[in-house]
Structure 1
């Protein structure tokens, strides 16, 4: 079967692979995402449409997106509320309107991507709203199929898999919280093949299938296997008590509300403790596809240097942003406070005369503003570039007025050169997907 399929969440880790797999099998892909400018450049062959579930809350709003569509694959999901993400909008309000719109438009086939552990007993808004979505789908008059995968793995890494790989690449030892949580990883290519099969003639319907891989591995085993896959020397796994993880979860929750999406959040930990393995539903046999275990997937997926870099830099990047932002912020605050007289004296030494005070004041203000702006998620890369350019301006002005500081034993001009490189690193690693 082929035709036109609407893939929702087509810019996501899972949705992008599913859209590509469907396209390779002859489907015309209408790709829905909240923001489409960047993904449209990556996949120009898709028909990109804006699909923001927080705005698509009526069947009428969905109607234009469903025009000439034969099937829908919904891959939209958010882990936790905050910074534009709403579990209620993504998992309940949007899907309810989508189902009504499909029924009105005569679009019969709906493949809904859920997750293992998506039930009320998990005790998280994520699981409760995901479970409500499943009930909405099951109660509809559509030809539906619900897929509930365990941990998704691929050459690419995002969210939880990115974190696990970073833990595996941690120097000297690999820290984990708990460690006995059981995964049954599913290669993303196998999931994509399952979705393609689910849209084929005669595919099963009105079923909810847990998608557990054939190999069960604990968190500790997953970390060790990933470390070996990256060619790193074996290292001990340190099981951290949950009391030590609590502050990190609080910080992760706060960052999530500020727009810094992080898998180190309360919801992720609760879901892992509840269920991340799923049950053997026979999904592979039901859909007529093959399913590979985690060890086999790693053996069939040769590691690249980019994989190792990503894992090693996973923790380095947030530290770089924090250090860079605090460097500018504290520098400005010091100039306004205890360092004011020294700053003005240096400018007098450089020949600024009566302009020394205003230049010091505006320079300190710029430092404070840029330091704070760096922490605003959508602005980070551009602010980092501006910091680098502003530093070039500082060095040009300093070289013209105070050239001897280049050979000062404390190296006041030389020391900003590594900071400029740090700015470029932050800007260059801004991509999220």
Structure 2
């Protein structure tokens, strides 16, 4: 069977894609940027398309050629420069449903979310529910799956945050540590999709996918800490104001293109808890989703997991430091351009050329310092920082080699900053 998986390289979509390939299906993955997915998953065919722009049935029809079943694993947490919830969760899904009916595609699996509710004041849950309604009111053979907190070997969004908090030194900080959580392994989600695509009796139902027992968020974090192989540490409940401030900062970063799992929409969801009813799926399959302990035992952690967990919280600090350093360097250069130019004149440069170099360098520093905190520009800004630093070191070596021996380390200090830029570039990717 030819199956189209929307969001096929995401946390859930990738696991679904792999599971359906194992079952012998022909897979087509769809996403906005599929270049890396094509390299990592060459057994699938890939289509580059933005669901937020596929808002009419006619937009979908060419993409459904030969397809016999569709799995929608796409979604976004909150509105931002790259994400439009109403378009992705509601309008595009409604257009997809119409296109499937017109194209004669009968089977559709919609991966929704625990808490989806038409009356919710949370845009994520409301738009998810509106998309679910479009699916459920169709003539298709549909199933809507609503996973709890999905745990996977891959780390992205909330799963990355769990690792990072669990790896915090000396204690484990947690906002809303007492909120009840039911997890589900991404393998169980993929299994549920595979059963449904294959003709499971869950057709025409909305099914929660959660482990049987709810546990506090703090207990989930302690399980992750043990999984990482780190020493025991106490849970320290952070005041609610800390969570609200983190949400405000994360929302601001969202406007710059960064997708933090600490955004206000995620915190609002956590406030209600992440719980569902495991019984319907257990009755259908005779086997409920595995508990968190079994999920973690099935994906042993090694040193790369500890590296990632420790670096994740350091990543924003890294970018803040880089931005502040380059902005300050540029601003000081502009404020004291005469003094800076005098240094170059003393090394033999004409006054006009010296002043031009100082002004150009200061402006370049400010531009890259500002650009590095804008997610779509971050990679280019980091590469520019490397080029500017190397140019600076080369010019200093030619014009004033004695500065390498300056007791204040005027030149030498650029080397560790260059190393920090290289580290930031290495950990820039989000998935």
TM over 0.5: yes
- Report if aligned partners of 2:175, 2:237 keep a CA contact under 8 Å in 1: yes
- What is the match of residue 416 of structure 1? 414
What's the secondary structure of 1:268's corresponding residue? helix
Report deviation, 1:193.
1.1
What's the secondary structure of 1:414's corresponding residue? coil
Q: For residues 386 and 45 of structure 2, what CA distance do their matches in structure 1 show?
A: 38
- Report if aligned partners of 1:181, 1:218 keep a CA contact under 8 Å in 2: yes
- What is the match of residue 398 of structure 1? 396
- What is the match of residue 191 of structure 2? 193
Q: Is 1:54 matched with 2:55?
A: no
What's the secondary structure of 1:282's corresponding residue? helix
- Report if aligned partners of 2:157, 2:261 keep a CA contact under 8 Å in 1: yes
Q: For residues 244 and 101 of structure 1, what CA distance do their matches in structure 2 show?
A: 46
- What is the match of residue 167 of structure 1? 165
Map 1:304-323; keep pairs closer than 5 Å.
304-323=302-321
Q: For residues 202 and 312 of structure 1, what CA distance do their matches in structure 2 show?
A: 42
Range with bigger deviation, 38-47 or 304-313: 38-47
TM-score, scaled to structure 1: 0.96
Q: Is 1:11 matched with 2:9?
A: yes
- What is the match of residue 63 of structure 1? 61
Q: Is 1:293 matched with 2:265?
A: no
Report deviation, 1:141.
0.5
Range with bigger deviation, 237-246 or 312-321: 237-246
RMSD, matched Cα = 1.4
Range with bigger deviation, 70-79 or 367-376: 367-376
- What is the match of residue 138 of structure 2? 140
Q: Which runs of 5+ in 1 are unaligned?
A: none
- What is the match of residue 340 of structure 1? 337
Report deviation, 1:72.
0.5
Which of 251, 270, 273 is the aligned partner of 1:272?
Answer: 270
- Report if aligned partners of 2:110, 2:144 keep a CA contact under 8 Å in 1: yes
Q: For residues 358 and 51 of structure 1, what CA distance do their matches in structure 2 show?
A: 45
- Report if aligned partners of 2:278, 2:288 keep a CA contact under 8 Å in 1: no
Report deviation, 1:121.
4.8
Q: For residues 27 and 106 of structure 1, what CA distance do their matches in structure 2 show?
A: 19
- Report if aligned partners of 1:324, 1:423 keep a CA contact under 8 Å in 2: yes
- What is the match of residue 329 of structure 1? 327
- Report if aligned partners of 1:327, 1:371 keep a CA contact under 8 Å in 2: yes
Q: For residues 383 and 134 of structure 2, what CA distance do their matches in structure 1 show?
A: 47
What's the secondary structure of 2:21's corresponding residue? helix
Q: For residues 283 and 296 of structure 2, what CA distance do their matches in structure 1 show?
A: 22
Equivalenced residues, count:
430
- What is the match of residue 222 of structure 2? 224
Report deviation, 1:173.
1.6
- Report if aligned partners of 2:210, 2:289 keep a CA contact under 8 Å in 1: no
Report deviation, 1:30.
1.0
- What is the match of residue 91 of structure 1? 89
What's the secondary structure of 1:54's corresponding residue? helix
Q: Which runs of 5+ in 2 are unaligned?
A: none
Report deviation, 1:290.
5.6
Report deviation, 1:289.
5.3
- Report if aligned partners of 2:112, 2:144 keep a CA contact under 8 Å in 1: yes
